[in-house]
Amino acid sequence: MKVITTVVGELGTNCYLLIDEATREAALIDPADSPDELSALIEREGVTLRYILLTHGHRDHTLAAPAMHKRYPAAAVYIHRLDANGSGIYHYPLEGVIDSLNYYDEGDTLPLGSLTISVLYTPGHTAGSVTLKVGDALFVGDTLFAGSCGRTDLPGGDPMEMLASLRRLGRLEGDYTVYPGHMDSTTLAREKQYNPFIRQALR
């Protein structure tokens, strides 16, 4: 498994290209902006794009999804149904913009070559936020950051749901590399030890 991080957009969103090195199949996670740059990366890596996966519906994570789907129409686009037509200034409705939009939810799995992408429903930042678990990697969107967590004061946010989602992540067995929607990656073990929000959730 190979993960390539590209920071795009005015809010510095982490867009991830997840690659199964055995088959050269790939998933693009949270294409926030810069479709030309993302397309160049895909072509440079010589991968087949199977999925465009969205951790939540905020515009700074989804803006380039329609353009990327036009360029790679065989790539299935997934989002949680509750975020497909979110409201508020940070949301970007996708229903009616992307043909054949797909919805995933808790417990769903997507095959990517020899990898399995598991969907964990982790609301709090938005009503439809998800975490994507792949091997020892967690793509958490804006649910968890290094030393912090996502804000809950925007439309669809809920502090109690955020607390429950952080508790759920904190109770996962083993260690994981955490790939957040913004800023640096971290590890789950480190966040369980030092992140005050996860520590509070696990009390």
E-assigned strands of 86-190? 102-103, 109-112, 115-121, 130-134, 137-141, 144-145, 148-149, 177-180, 186-187
- Spatial distance between the Cα atoms of 191 and 120, rounded to a whole number of angstroms: 18
Averaged pLDDT score across all residues of the chain: 94
The model's pTM: 0.95
Convert 139-164 to b/e letters by CB count within 10 Å (16 or more is b).
bbbbbbbbeebbebebebbbeebbbe
Residue type, 107: G
Query: Tell me: the pLDDT tens digits for 76-87?
Result: 999 999 998 864
Domains of the chain: 2-201 (3.60.15.10)
Tell me the mean pLDDT in the region 14-35.
98
3-class DSSP assignment, residue 102:
strand
- Whether residue 17 has pLDDT greater than 80: yes
Q: What pLDDT sits at residue 77?
A: 96
Band the pLDDT of 91: cuts 50, 70, 90: low
3-state secondary structure of 67: helix
Instruction: Render pLDDT for 36-59 as a digit per residue (tens, 0 to 9).
Output: 999 999 999 999 999 999 999 998
Tell me the pairing of strands 76-79 and 102-103.
parallel
* CA distances for 148 relative to 155, 163, 180, 202, angstroms: 20, 12, 11, 14
- Whether the per-residue pLDDT at 165 is higher than 80: the answer is yes
